[in-house]
Amino acid sequence: MTTVALTKDNFEATITGNDIVLVDFWASWCGPCRAFAPTFEAASEKHPDIVFAKVDTEAEQEIAAAFNIRSIPTLMLFREKVILFAEAGALPPPALEQVITQARSIDMDAVRKEIAEQGAQPDQTGPAA
């Protein structure tokens, strides 16, 4: 499967409309980004059930800012709209495969429950009532 170019027009629909989306934040001038591209492309061929997407941080500065991208390449894996992995730096093929394998094995019901519980807890950083 070829990679999808994400823009502000299709980002939300891509993330919400697919089970697993692996996003590569990159720029054309970035040497490590260009070096990582074949690894990312090869993984996309190996995993046709996952959407492999790229965000050109130069063209899509709003998206990069929204996700606080400070260095590139940065990989971010979404599963069922939840970010399960976010890390700067190019991964070697075995490490990328490990990220994918771990993402597939996570119990998303447990993740959603944990998120809900965290949201229900009172703010611990504010002044005591």
pLDDT tens per residue across span 44-72: 999 999 999 999 999 999 999 999 999 99
Question: Residue 115 carries which side chain, given as an amino acid letter?
Answer: I
Rounded to the nearest 5°, which phi and psi values hold at 41? -65, -40
The band of 2, judged by pLDDT with boundaries at 50, 70 and 90, is: confident
Query: Helix or strand or coil: residue 74?
Result: strand
pTM for the whole thing?
A: 0.89
Rounded to the nearest 5°, which phi and psi values hold at 92? -70, 155
Catalytic annotation, pick one of 4, 27, 30, 84 = 30
Determine whether 30 is an active site residue: yes
60-68, Cβ contacts within 8 angstroms, sequence gap of 24 or more = 60/6, 60/7, 60/8, 60/11, 62/8, 63/6, 63/7, 63/8, 63/11, 64/25, 67/25
Domains observed in the chain: 4-120 (3.40.30.10)
Determine whether 121 is an active site residue: no
Q: Looking up tokens 């399960």, which residue turns up? A: 84
Catalytic annotation, pick one of 15, 22, 33, 77 = 33
The band of 121, judged by pLDDT with boundaries at 50, 70 and 90, is: confident
